Amino acid sequence: MKSFTLPQLPYAYDALEPFIDKETMSIHHQRHHQAYVDNLNAALALADETSTDLESILQRISEYSPAVRNNGGGHYNHSLFWEILSPQPQLNPEGKLAEAINTTFGSLEDVKAEMKKSGLGQFGSGWVWLFVKFNGSLAIASTPNQDNPMMDIQTVNRGFPILGIDVWEHAYYLAYQNKRADYLESFWSVLDWSVVERKYEEVLSKLK
């Protein structure tokens, strides 16, 4: 049976400093994400699942065990998270994504404010998402634990994530302690909008 593996980071653990520190990145990637990968493989083996199409599994997550839901979500969410971060990011969206953001939310600053509000409003561990609904429109929502909008357990906020902010304490506590708001502000300094744009274009193509 094929198994999922931990993706390598496209940058060094200290590359995102001072916004995200080296120790947090190392522990977050090597321990937390690795644990999700290991536990996901074990859970899928128990379920006799041979598919390694994680998107397909998440879209039918109601058919699987809580272990697949938690660890499959953990693997998918973190893989997206690492990909959209960069030490040399494009700091503003462009093209169709910029147009959609302005049409839907008013401005990039409004998106940042709404995602910060959602992040601070998420009780306990979870994620904040900018995602594309099945009708092609943009939306913002938070989810608990390792859930995401792709999962069929979502009754309202369903779609394809293109940007996710990890608000589990392990993502920021070493540097920011209980100051989640400060972490949410710093996040934008290492978000690469060019990757988010590419994901947006890919989703739109998928929905045609």
Helix ranges restricted to H, 85-107: 95-105
Do the annotations mark residue 14 as ligand-binding? no
Q: Which amino acid is at 33?
A: H
Do the annotations mark residue 170 as ligand-binding? yes
What distance in Å separates the CA atoms of residue 174 and residue 137, rounded to the nearest whole number? 36
What distance in Å separates the CA atoms of residue 80 and residue 183, rounded to the nearest whole number? 18
Report the 10 Å Cβ neighbour count for 189: 12
> 64 in helix, strand or coil?
coil
Do the annotations mark residue 78 as ligand-binding? yes
Do the annotations mark residue 53 as ligand-binding? no
> 74 in helix, strand or coil?
helix
Binding site feature residues for Mn(2+): 28, 78, 166, 170
Binding site feature residues: 28, 78, 166, 170
